[in-house]
């Protein structure tokens, strides 16, 4: 499959770029996408949640009432979970939510997500942008020229570019990532993928099955 290459003015350059069928035209694997997105979201969790159990509460250990003869249920001290302010039963404890996922599954998930975007005509190839300084106004203008300013867009560059990243940092609907930072969740979460022309070779190298 071939895609037209656009310039920052939104006009066709007359050039096309050929997409690797082993990356952009595979049989999508929905379960691989699910697993990779699940792992990404799990990695974002701090896992610092904590509640105090009975042994950690700062209450007196005095027995509140005698064991028998009160006509009510027996009770111990104020640390008991049945009392307000007592310890919590089976409360959350700090834990690590991360889990292992094979690199082949992650690569398959990214290829599947990119295939979906191509099939939905939600991918645009733009010639490389050169910026001498961060300019949010220029980035807004580029997005308008490409007619995607109202869409949640993911810009993929070949390598980290501070000027491009800083230009898009204050724009709510735009996220800039390099090929090495590209993940399945960002691809699925974006309405449109903008690939810089220079990122294609690196993308083919990272995701190719050859």
What percent of the chain has pLDDT above 90?
58
Segment 112-144, tens digit of pLDDT: 999 999 999 999 999 888 777 888 998 899 889
The three-class DSSP label of residue 123 is strand
Assess whether pLDDT exceeds 70 at residue 209: no
Assess whether pLDDT exceeds 70 at residue 85: yes
- Judged on CB neighbours under 10 Å (0-12, 13-18, 19+), 92 is exposed
Q: Could you tell me which CATH number the domain at 2-45+98-207 has? A: 3.40.1370.10
Assess whether pLDDT exceeds 70 at residue 150: yes
Q: Which pLDDT value is given to residue 130?
A: 77
Segment 186-203, tens digit of pLDDT: 999 999 999 998 888 889
What are the backbone dihedrals phi and psi of residue 59, each rounded to the nearest 5 degrees, phi first? -125, 160
Q: Which pLDDT value is given to residue 8?
A: 86
Q: Which pLDDT value is given to residue 63?
A: 92
Q: Which pLDDT value is given to residue 111?
A: 95
What percent of the chain has pLDDT above 70?
99
Q: Which pLDDT value is given to residue 31?
A: 97
Kindly give the pairing relationship between strand 123-126 and strand 153-157: unpaired
Distance CA 21, CA 30 (A): 18
Distance CA 55, CA 152 (A): 49
Distance CA 33, CA 21 (A): 18
Per the CB < 8 A criterion, the answer to whether 192 and 124 are in contact is: yes
Q: Which pLDDT value is given to residue 110?
A: 95
Residue 73 is encoded by which pair of tokens?
């249920």
Assess whether pLDDT exceeds 90 at residue 97: yes
Helix (H) or strand (E) holding 23: helix 21-24
Q: Which pLDDT value is given to residue 132?
A: 79
The pTM of this model reads 0.83
Which carries the bigger pLDDT value, residue 44 or residue 134? 44
Strands of 153-157's sheet in order across? 12-18, 2-6, 123-126, 192-196, 153-157, 174-178
CA distances from 136 to 8, 12, 143, 147, 160 (A): 14, 23, 11, 17, 17
Q: Which pLDDT value is given to residue 133?
A: 86
Distance CA 157, CA 203 (A): 10
Domain boundaries, the chain: 2-45+98-207, 48-96
| Closest-CA residue to 130 (of 81, 94, 164, 176) | 164
Assess whether pLDDT exceeds 90 at residue 10: no
Q: Taking residues 46-73, what's their average pLDDT?
A: 92
């Amino acid at each position: 499959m071939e895609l037209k290459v656009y310039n920052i003015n939104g006009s066709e350059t007359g050039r096309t770029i050929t997409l690797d069928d082993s990356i952009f035209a595979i049989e999508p694997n929905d379960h691989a996408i699910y697993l990779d997105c699940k792992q990404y979201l799990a990695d974002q969790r701090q896992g610092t949640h904590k509640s105090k159990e009975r042994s950690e509460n700062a209450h007196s250990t005095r027995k509140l009432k005698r064991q028998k003869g009160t006509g009510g249920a027996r009770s111990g001290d104020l640390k008991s979970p049945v009392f307000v302010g007592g310890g919590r039963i089976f409360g959350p404890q700090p834990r690590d939510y991360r889990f292992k996922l094979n690199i082949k599954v992650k690569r398959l998930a990214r290829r599947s997500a990119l295939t979906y975007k191509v099939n939905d005509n939600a991918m645009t190839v733009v010639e490389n942008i050169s910026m001498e300084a961060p300019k949010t106004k220029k980035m807004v203008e580029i997005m308008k020229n490409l007619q995607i300013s109202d869409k949640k867009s993911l810009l993929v560059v070949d390598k980290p570019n501070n000027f491009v990243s800083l230009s898009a940092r204050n724009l709510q609907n735009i996220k800039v990532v390099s090929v090495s930072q590209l993940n399945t969740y960002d691809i699925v979460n974006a309405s449109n993928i903008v690939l810089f022309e220079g990122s294609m070779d690196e993308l083919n190298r990272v995701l190719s099955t050859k």
